[in-house]
Amino acid sequence: MPVESFPFVPYCGSPPVPGQLAAAWNLDPPLLAAFALAAVGLAWVSRRSTEPPASWRVLGFAAAWLVLLVAFVSPLCNLTSALFAARVVQHLLTIQIAAPLLVLAWPAGAVRWPGWLRSLARPFAVPELAWGLFGVTLWVWHLPGPYMAALRSDAVLWLMHATLFVGALAAWRSVLVGGDSGTRARGLLSALGTSVHLAMLAALLIFAPEPLFGYHTTTTLAWGLSPLADQQLGGLVMGVVGSLAYVALNLYAAGRWMAGMRRSAG
């Protein structure tokens, strides 16, 4: 199915060709304004922190902000219009680097959230629920129907990014900060379960006999990839790089958990 048969242009722009990519920055004014407000907000939160080391929190916030900038403002955003594999990279930057950095850097008690928001977020403190919903969200947005809907509609696209990012924040929070030792242990087991079905999703993408995403039928050719090869590359990135990120973060979380148990025992 040729790209021309789709009467829409995705949010990140028309599919680029290699010679055009370097200049294809996303300078959407509302997005840049959101990044500017986020920088101000994160600077304000870091200044309110009374917990040492404050320098780590500033670095963590800055790193998360830069990772999100790469994901949504750099030419990577435009490349997602051409390659499914680039979309997978964008998602991994968001949910496996930016989200845990924000979780680790965020100082407890720095912001007094409204009561209704705390009530809404309370169920996500249950590790099994947080990781389970996050896993469902991962599957949903990498299925052909929802994926194509996100390409057609900017509102659906940002719903995709928002649900993935918020889900990742809730999930990583259950293993990286807060909670008693039992809650952290349940979080680690839940994270392991999510990594298993992430590998299953990656396998589905790698071993599917034909391309699943009609939009990319010809958008990949300028990059020397067939649509099926692009899909398989996305699956490999998800299954290998994504799994390694889960292993590294969960080993780090397990180390923090065991260190906390030793301090409690001491």
Per-residue model confidence as pLDDT tens digits over 155-192: 999 999 999 999 999 999 888 876 666 777 777 778 87
Quote the pLDDT of residue 185: 75
Quote the pLDDT of residue 4: 44
Could you tell me the pLDDT band of residue 3, with boundaries at 50, 70 and 90?
Answer: very low
- Burial class from Cβ neighbours inside 10 Å (0-12, 13-18, 19+) for residue 118 reads exposed
Quote the pLDDT of residue 126: 86
Quote the pLDDT of residue 2: 38
Average pLDDT over residues 42-66: 81
Residue 252's nearest CA partner among 175, 183, 179 is 175
178 φ/ψ angles, rounded to the nearest 5 degrees: 65, 175
Could you tell me the pLDDT band of residue 90, with boundaries at 50, 70 and 90?
Answer: very high
Say if residues 109 and 172 touch (Cβ distance below 8 Å): no
Could you tell me the pLDDT band of residue 6, with boundaries at 50, 70 and 90?
Answer: low
pTM exceeds cut of 0.85 = yes
Token pair 């649509």: residue: 227
User: Of 75-79, 186-190, 241-245, 261-265, which range is least confident?
Assistant: 261-265
Measured at the alpha carbon of residue 237, what is the angle toward residues 186 and 21, in degrees to the nearest 5?
A: 130
How far is the CA of 54 from the CAs of 8, 105, 111, 113, 121, in angstroms?
46, 9, 16, 21, 26
Tokens (6 digits) for 167: 């889900």
User: Of 126-140, 149-163, 249-263, which range is least confident?
Assistant: 249-263
Quote the pLDDT of residue 109: 67
Quote the pLDDT of residue 1: 35
Residue 128 has pLDDT above 70, yes or no: yes
Quote the pLDDT of residue 189: 79
What gap in Å lies between CA 203 and CA 181, rounded to an integer? 33
Could you tell me the pLDDT band of residue 61, with boundaries at 50, 70 and 90?
Answer: very high
User: Of 80-84, 114-118, 128-132, 138-142, which range is least confident?
Assistant: 114-118
Average confidence score pLDDT of the chain: 86
Quote the pLDDT of residue 176: 83
What gap in Å lies between CA 152 and CA 44, rounded to an integer? 36
Residue 26's nearest CA partner among 96, 59, 74, 98 is 74
